[in-house]
Structures are given as structure tokens and as C-alpha cells.
A = this chain, B = another copy of it.
Amino acid sequence: MDRIDQWVRVLQKSGCRITAPRRAIIEIIANSQRALQPIEVYHLSKQQYPGIGLVTVYRTLDRLEELGLIRRVHQEDGCHTLMPAANGHEHYLVCTGCGRTILFQGDDLSALFSRVETKTGFQVNEHWLQLFGICPDCLDHKVVIEKEARHA
């Protein structure tokens, strides 16, 4: 069963109805190689379901985020982009050249957390780790091409 089927099930279980616009949005996000802004999701979904409205995109994204299926990815300029959620100790690695974003298996940081707890008196509940770098393709000087494609 692929990711899209999984997401559809989670949506249905939570009482959501599966509609054509939702299906389009889900497919776009689930298959994207990089984190997308709502407006980008809108434009891409429109190719698949031309009648779609931007409001529906916002509403569906909210729903998917509530259900833990997608998550915000933070960029230098803000955090309005979304990607399929990471699990466990996975975190995002964002290419600052072309935007391609992958997941990597992170360390277990619990040792750090208990050290911080002892030192600060805070009770640490969550953490947020993200890496930025240059992907293999951009290292091979494909930067310009990718960037152009992104703005097309």
C-alpha cells in the first residue's frame, strides 16, 4: 500500500470525505521532492483538477497537518512550506540550491536533552532539527537549471 492510500485511510477514519480536489492535493504533496507553499500546491493541483479553489488547498493542508500526515519545513525566509511528515528520529535536509528536501535518520539526542534539563531546569518535551546543504545534483553545477525550473 503506498503513501497515498495510507493518507486516504487516515482521512476517512477521522471522518473526512474523499473528494476529487482533496485527492489532487494529496497526490501533489505526497509525491513532491521538495516542500511546497500553499500557493504552489494550488497551482499544481489546478493542472489535475482545474476547478479547485485556493481556499480548499488551505483547508486540506490544515487537515493533513492536524492528522500528522504533513509537516512544516522551515526555510531561511520563513516556514510556510509543507512536506510529508517525518517519523521517529527522521529530520529534513533541505538543498538551498534547488529546494529538494529529503529525510535523514538523525541521532538519538536524549543524552543532550537530559544534560540540558539538568543545567536549565526546563523539562524538554520536543525538538526541532533541520539541516541545510547542497544536494548532489546542485554540486554538479546543475544549480541554475534547477532554479529556473522551480520558477517556471
Contact = CB atoms under 8 A, between A and B. Distances in A.
Contacts of A119: 104
Interface residues of A, number: 34
Contact of A130 (B93, B128, B135, B136): B128
B116 A123 contact: no
Interface stretch (A6-14, A32-40, A106-114): A106-114
Give the number of times this chain occurs in the complex, counting copies. 2
Interface of A, secondary structure class, is strand
Given A104-B116, A125-B134, 14 more contacts: A74-B74, A78-B78, A93-B116, A93-B122, A95-B122, A96-B126, A104-B119, A107-B109, A107-B112, A117-B133, A122-B133, A122-B135, A124-B133, A125-B133
